[in-house]
A and B are shown apart, each in its own frame.
Chain A
Amino acid sequence: MPGLSSNSLLQWYHNAHSQGTRVFAIKSLFVRNSFSGYQLSALVLFSLVLMFADHRFDYLSKVRFYTSYVVRPVQWLTDAPLQLGESVQGSIKTRAVLETENEALREQLFMQQFQLQKLAHLTAENQRLNELLNASTIVEERVVRAQISGESPDPFLRRVMINKGQNDGVYLGQPVLDAYGLMGQVVEIEAFASWVLLVTDPQHATPVLINRNGVRTVAHGSELNPNELELRNLSNTVDVQVGDLLVTSGLGQRFPAGYPVGIITSVVHDPGQSFAIIKATPSAQLDRSRNVLLVF
């Protein structure tokens, strides 16, 4: 603490200044200088303009894209322990465990290859029948594997982040599936990652059809239950039963047809309501899958 005599204080002040460091001879009691109010209103105005531009127009997608390079280290850091844990777990499995796992996987592969034997024949037959009906031809689908690397911190937004981005050819609206069914679609692309909106998000609607009888409808995410789908606009007289499988109908050109979306769990015909109250659980394991597929 410098002495109170003005000479030593002055000397200290000059010494400090000559070293080129910032010095407060007497710390002012009031930080809020005259510019703080202007700074606040300028920043508030700027934020409002940014929000408006981001919400209504698409000008800011580039900004978001390049800023995602800056926040990438945080995402990588948060995912690193999980990756590390998995790789350590993978490398310390005992030989016995590996052998039984190997055996089980071989068995599963054998059964699936057997079931696929007829696939070539069925595809060709389907193609011929479609041509007979003058319907459009079946296109082979290319898939890319990805991993779920994060979730949206907002509990009311059902989105997950996957580790493939624009540099891997991901495009907006691309369907994402896991091994058991449809998961959602890509809604936002960064350089090395993308955000996927899940089918159970209340803002998402999937065109589906009931596998048993071909009834076409739309499955929305439920607002109340984060792991449920709702069929909102089916009248009380439509033929729907518990246990029916819902598959994508391909209408809307967003999702390819034929992938499982969910299984109906409850059908309530309330004569007082104009529509039946129908709920379904998604086929995809939305909160458990880590490996997903992107369909091109």
Chain B
Amino acid sequence: MAPVLEKRNANWIILITLLVAACLAIMPLPDWLILMRPEWIPLVLIYWIMALPYRVGLGVAWVTGFLVDVLEGSLLGLNGLCYVLVAWLCISLYQRLRMFTLLQQSCVVFVFIGIIQILNFWILAITELNAGSNLLVMLSALTSAVVWPFVFVTLRHLRRTFKVT
């Protein structure tokens, strides 16, 4: 019996999840909460690369990083660089990452988001655009790791419901 091949609606779902992540990323927050905001866009990107490495790869990661640069008003190409490096790490390791428990995945996500934050910090320090910035940005890597299980479960549910492949 020939298997049924589903209609392609994967791109829409991925786009919508990235859009929601972008809205969450620029939502205004009170001053004391800003440092603790999880990095929603990299989280969603890491999930889709882990789940669908064929569909979401380095190109998508770079374009997303570029759009985040324009959205946030930072140096063009900065987030592109960071996201591409983390995406490459993901693509190299996705088979292992799928086997991890949620806790282990959270630790890996902490490292990935930490890499993004540190690269941001370094490049801003090199180009001297970072008056007043300090390493408290790593706090957002921590909250991203804490939020990862929820992101994972939600996106996996979405992927299975809409049969995104």
Complex CA distance for A19 and B3, rounded to whole angstroms: 13
Decide yes or no whether B13 CB sits under 8 A from chain A: no
What residues on A are CB-neighbors of B25 within 8 Å?
Answer: 153
Complex CA distance for A12 and B74, rounded to whole angstroms: 50
Interface flags for B104-132 (1: CB within 8 Å of A; 0: not) read: 00000000000000000001000101111
Decide yes or no whether A257 CB sits under 8 A from chain B: no
Quick check: A50 and B91 within 8 Å, CB to CB? no
Complex CA distance for A50 and B80, rounded to whole angstroms: 10
Nearest-CB distance from B68 to chain A (Å)? 9
Complex CA distance for A67 and B35, rounded to whole angstroms: 27
Complex CA distance for A236 and B71, rounded to whole angstroms: 44
What residues on A are CB-neighbors of B141 within 8 Å?
Answer: none
Decide yes or no whether A71 CB sits under 8 A from chain B: yes
What residues on A are CB-neighbors of B146 within 8 Å?
Answer: none
Q: Find A54's partner among B2, B27, B75, B91 (CB 8 Å cutoff).
A: B75
Quick check: A153 and B75 within 8 Å, CB to CB? no
Complex CA distance for A44 and B23, rounded to whole angstroms: 26
Complex CA distance for A101 and B22, rounded to whole angstroms: 38
Number of interface residues of B (CB under 8 A): 50
Complex CA distance for A53 and B28, rounded to whole angstroms: 30
Decide yes or no whether A268 CB sits under 8 A from chain B: no
- Residue in B5, B77, B123 with the greatest tally of chain A CB atoms within 10 Å: B77
Q: What secondary structure prevails in chain B residues at the interface with A?
A: helix
Nearest-CB distance from A12 to chain B (Å)? 5
Nearest-CB distance from B85 to chain A (Å)? 7
Number of interface residues of A (CB under 8 A): 55
Complex CA distance for A5 and B127, rounded to whole angstroms: 62
What residues on A are CB-neighbors of B151 within 8 Å?
Answer: none
Within 8 A of A (CB), among B11-67: 19, 22-23, 25-28, 31, 34-35, 37, 53-54, 57-59, 62, 65-67
Decide yes or no whether A74 CB sits under 8 A from chain B: yes
| With A12-B2, A32-B92, A78-B26: A63-B80 Cβ-Cβ less than 8 Å | no
* B-binding segment of A35-43, A89-97, A112-120: A35-43
Q: Find A40's partner among B27, B58, B73, B129 (CB 8 Å cutoff).
A: B58
Seen from chain A, the residues whose Cβ lies within 8 Å of a Cβ on chain B are: 1-2, 11-12, 15-16, 19, 21, 23, 29, 31-32, 36, 39-40, 43-44, 46-51, 53-55, 60, 63-64, 67-68, 70-71, 73-75, 77-78, 150-156, 159, 188, 195, 201-203, 223-224, 226, 287
11 contacts between A and B (CB under 8 A): A12-B3, A31-B54, A44-B84, A46-B80, A71-B71, A73-B19, A74-B71, A153-B72, A154-B74, A155-B35, A226-B31
